Amino acid sequence: MVIKLFNRDTVYSPNQQLYGYTVLKVIGEGRYGICYLVFKDNKHFILKQLKRRILEKTRQKINFEAEILSVTQHESIPKFIKKIGNKDFFGYILEFKAGKTFEEIIFEDNYIFKRKEIYSIAIKLINILKYLHGINVVHRDIRVPNILYNNGNLYLLDFGLARWVDNKKYTADVDFSYIGDFLLHLYYTSFETKSIIGKPWYKELDLSAKESLFLKRLMGINKRYGNIIEVEEDLLSLSIDIQSES
């Protein structure tokens, strides 16, 4: 069955056939597209359907995700399989990665992350960003719905806003504030509200001076890091401190 919504794109329901792929379920919808879990030849894939109004307004921009993913070769980034579609439908097929997003882990499972876990996760994320920045790609959307976790493995998803670094409009350091915001979500899982008066995170959270400075530099409150290597060096130092405390 195909569901047509007023002023919205067609949403395909389970068992619908699309270009040889069987739709299993919708797994997410954002501003630019709808993502489905699909099945073909005994394998799962992700089908990303791009929305028509976005195509009409920003057709040139939608090619960046496919272009960038088609050249990335990293085990923590879904592989680009192929483009599909016609004049009425445009999308592409991506490798399926199993796991839960951090949005699900934090807000549905109510999981509380320990400090060691936070730094282990952060190091994995930095390793992905080292690769991307090394090939001149800035992700620009590192958020809890776009990072998948499964048995210690971390996957970075949704490259819809990713761009080639040109050091003018698109700079690699944009990703740093996203990293900081992501880490704050992990820190706040263990936060217990003690006051009804809202305070900034660096006053609410129980952080060491080094942790606070690290996050402030990521967020641009203090002097921003110059590159991902500097971020990694301070992160590894913090991780050693946490290990020595236990």
Residues present in the chain in total? 246
Could you tell me which residues are annotated as the binding site?
48
Q: Do domains 2-95 and 100-245 have the same CATH topology?
A: no
Classified by CATH at the fold level, domain 100-245 comes out as Transferase(Phosphotransferase); domain 1 (1.10.510)
Could you tell me which residues are annotated as the binding site for ATP?
48
What residue spans define the domains of the chain?
2-95, 100-245
**CATH says 2-95 is which class?**
alpha beta
- pLDDT in tens for each of the 246 residues of the chain? 444 443 467 889 999 999 999 999 999 887 778 999 999 999 999 999 988 776 666 656 668 888 999 999 999 999 999 999 877 788 999 999 999 999 999 999 999 999 999 999 999 999 999 999 999 999 999 999 999 999 999 999 999 899 999 999 999 999 999 999 999 999 999 998 766 667 899 999 999 999 999 999 999 999 999 999 999 999 999 999 887 776
What are the Cα distances from residue 15, in Å, to 1, 4, 20, 36, 82? 8, 16, 11, 12, 21
